[in-house]
Amino acid sequence: MRWTLKPKPEENKVIQLAKDLGVEESIAFLLVQRGIETYEDAKLFFRPSLDQLHDPFLMKDMDLAVARIVKAIANEENILVFGDYDVDGTSAVALMSSFLLSYYPNIATYIPDRYDEGYGISFKGIDFAQDNNFSLIIALDCGIKAIEKVAYANEKDIDFIICDHHRPGDQLPKAVAVLDPKRDDCNYPYDELCGCGVGFKLIQALAGKRGLHIEDLLLYLDLVATAIGADIVPITGENRVLAYFGLQVINSNPRAGFQAIIQNLKKEKLCINDVVFIIAPRINAAGRMKHGQHAVDLMTEINVEQAVLYAKEIEEFNTDRRSADQDITLQALELIKTNGEENRFTTVVYQEDWHKGVIGIVASRLTETYYRPTLVFTKSGEKLAASARSVKHFDVYNAIEACEDCLEQFGGHKYAAGLTLLPEQFEAFKQKFEEVVAATIDKKLLTPEISIDMEIDLHQITPKFYRVLKQFGPFGPGNMTPVFLTQNLKDTGWGKQVGTESNHLRVTLQQNNTNTFVGIGFGMGDKFELIQDKKLFKAVYSLDENEWNGTTTIQLRLRDLKE
């Protein structure tokens, strides 16, 4: 692991902010480091306000989208809400359909089948719309590259409104409206919304036309917060506001589907991490293992008893998903070793019978193991489909785009993408992708980096310090959990390897024989000898809480140890 200390902020700014806010300089240090330099900045950071949300009509084509929906309702047209099968797409469909159904009945939803139709807008979905007399399709979290599909719909007199957040290609689909803050000609002030976030801006615009206020839309923000967490978009700007209020809804008044998932958790208050690691995988499991419509049904159900039945079904999908991704990960690791590919700049693996629903998770697991841009392929009909994952600071989308002569289609983000190609293109793509990455990646990015906010001593970690630190949340890209470095630590002698396979590390830390803290390092059991016999070591960690027998204490979540 590479340990990198972030640049220190200007000392005079830290001192002034600490004085203005009445906080310790260590807190002010972390704030200035995040670009929060004044009392007003801090007020907005610690107390997000719905007033910080931008006017939705600043988004290119928003007026056209609203006008078309208003016209459809006036003419009593049937509207089909279409979305991708992942968390972002299904939550966006749940959001849009439930809002429209609150005042207009002619609404239906459509999630494409991952295996039969593949990602995004499908010809089959458009045929379904025609067969069932839908004249308007609102596409969410997909569609920005669906040039041919939208043209096909136009031939059938079906209009499209596209709400997407993926990077556009050279040409936009000929839809009635294309809402995507990443459009070059869109001057919307914030371009990091997820697909559900773009959908929320559309319902915000529609609500405004109906005389509703932003407060009237609060009950939908649990969906938006879940999509923000699951899609790993930056939790800055509007996303921070939406996630902040969405978490409040999840904790105070969750929809029946979320209540059914979280009712057995022994946690008083859920944070964004709980959304990412508890709610989101279960929502995703429906589309991975069965069909994304199951997730939409769960998120739109208002009867708690029925929601519990849906949640039980989805829990079974999640168990199956977990088993499949573990098995395939082991097979992929074996394949890499068998082929002697440990020393490449990329990981590209393929097996035709791998479950398409979990190849993205497997790509993430392989990236954790070998820490390099990774693609996992499987057979999908007559083509091969892949999920890509990247390492910190490397744009895998650009690398894939450089190989587009080998591809049928592709799309995605800097760190995660998807593509399809013909079987005969696989070897050429694998070779070219390796060449592109080898030529463009900074070699130090192939070693995992721990970015450290500041160096502190253990005596600085007080209940008051931690209370303020918790208010930095919700955490995520652009506002990560603070990471600290402390030197000259030693274990009191109670350190041990824990877990069924002794693969975790539990230590009781001291610095200068005072200020004892418990530290837990998951997957760090092999570092045990570093702390044995009261040897001095240094640690990088974040802070969290441990609840045991009714007592809550601050503990160190260890990230790495060194002599």
DSSP per-residue letters across 120-168: SS-HHHHHHHHHTTEEEEEEES--TT-HHHHHHHHHTT-EEEEE--SPP
pLDDT value, residue 265: 76
Give the start-to-end residue ranges of the domains of the chain.
7-42, 56-312, 341-446, 451-563
Does 266 have pLDDT greater than 80?
no
Q: pLDDT tens across 34-85, in order?
A: 999 999 999 999 999 999 999 999 999 999 999 999 999 999 999 999 999 9
Predicted pLDDT of residue 94: 98
pLDDT band at residue 260 under the 50/70/90 scheme: very high
Burial of 33 (0-12, 13-18, 19+ CB in 10 A): middle
Q: 291, 285 in Cβ contact below 8 A?
A: no
Q: What is the pLDDT of residue 474?
A: 93
End-to-end CA distance of the chain: 13
Say if residue 310's pLDDT is above 80: yes
For 21, the enclosing helix (H) or strand (E) is helix 11-21
pLDDT at position 114 = 86
CA 1 to chain centre: 23
State residue 63's pLDDT score: 98
Strand partners for 98:
none
What's the mean pLDDT in 544-561?
A: 89
User: Does residue 118 carry a pLDDT above 90?
Assistant: no
pLDDT for position 144: 95
Confidence of residue 371 (pLDDT cuts 50, 70, 90): very high
Q: Return the SS3 of 412.
A: strand
- The partner residues of 160 in beta bridges, in order of sequence, read 137
- Please count the other Cβ atoms lying within 10 Å of the Cβ belonging to residue 300: 21
CA 75, CA 79: separation in Å to the nearest integer? 11
Please report the pLDDT score of residue 350 as a whole number: 96
CATH class assigned to 56-312 = alpha beta
What would the mean pLDDT of 2-10 be, rounded to a whole number? 95
pLDDT of residue 116: 86
Ramachandran angles phi, psi of 370, nearest 5°: -105, -15
Per cent of the chain over pLDDT 90 is 88
Let me know if 340 is exposed, middle or buried by CB neighbors in 10 A (0-12, 13-18, 19+). Answer: exposed
Q: How many residues does the chain have?
A: 563
| Burial class of 75 by CB neighbour count within 10 A (0 to 12, 13 to 18, 19+) | exposed
Taking 80 as the threshold, does the pLDDT of residue 267 lie above it? no
pLDDT at 232: 85
pLDDT at 397: 94
Domain 451-563 has CATH 2.40.50.460: yes
Span 343-370, average pLDDT: 94
Of all helices (H) and strands (E), which one includes residue 489?
strand 484-491
C-beta neighbour count of 535 within 10 angstroms? 12
Residue 183 is predicted with a pLDDT of 96
Per-residue pLDDT of 434-462, as tens digits, reads: 999 999 999 999 999 999 999 999 999 99
Model confidence pLDDT, tens digit, residues 190-217: 999 999 999 999 999 999 999 999 999 9
List the structure tokens of 461.
């970690």
Q: Is pLDDT above 80 for 482? A: yes
Q: How far apart are CA 451 and CA 299, in angstroms?
A: 36
Determine contact, residues 137/153, Cβ cutoff 8 Å: yes
Residue 547 confidence (pLDDT) = 80
Name the fold adopted by 341-446: Diaminopimelate Epimerase; Chain A, domain 1 (3.10.310)
The model's pLDDT over 499-536, given as tens digits with 9 standing for 90+, comes to: 988 999 999 999 988 889 999 999 999 999 999 888 99
- Of 47, 126, 140, give the one whose Cα is nearest residue 97: 140
Rounded to whole angstroms, the Cα distance separating 168 from 191 reads: 13
Residues 401, 418: Cα–Cα separation, whole Å: 11
Q: Which residue, 106, 35, 34, is CA-closest to 77?
A: 106
Q: Is the pLDDT of residue 412 over 90?
A: no
Give pLDDT, residue 208. 96
What mean pLDDT, rounded, does the chain reach? 94
Angle at which helices 87-101 and 195-209 cross, to 10°: 10
Sign of the torsion formed by the C-alpha atoms of 197, 199, 202 and 208 = negative
Distance of CA 392 to the CA centre of its chain: 14
Torsion of CA 24, 271, 445, 1, to 10 degrees: 70
Helix axes 304-338 and 359-370, enclosed angle (nearest 10) = 50
pLDDT band at 387 (very low <50, low <70, confident <90, very high): very high
Q: Compute the average pLDDT of residues 229-248.
A: 94
- In this structure, the number of other CB atoms found within 10 A of the CB of residue 95 comes to 29
CA of residue 348 relative to chain centroid, distance: 23
CA distances from 283 to 100, 261, 294, 297 (A): 22, 10, 9, 10
In sequence order, which ranges of 191-236 are alpha helices (DSSP H)? 195-209, 221-230
Residue 412 is encoded by which pair of tokens? 């995605």
Report d(CA 517, CA 88) in Å as an integer: 39
**CB < 8 Å & 24+ apart, contacts of 517-522:** 517/458, 517/461, 517/554, 517/555, 517/556, 518/546, 518/553, 518/555, 518/556, 519/555, 519/556, 519/557, 519/558, 520/546, 520/555, 520/556, 520/557, 520/558, 521/557, 521/558, 521/559, 521/561
Q: Contact at 8 Å (CB) between 496 and 524?
A: no
| Residue 75 DSSP SS3 | coil
| Of residues 85, 141, 475, the one with CA closest to residue 291 | 85
CA distance 425 to 375: 14
Among residues 289, 294, 288, the alpha carbon closest in space to that of 260 is found at 294
Pairing, β 347-350 against β 374-380: parallel
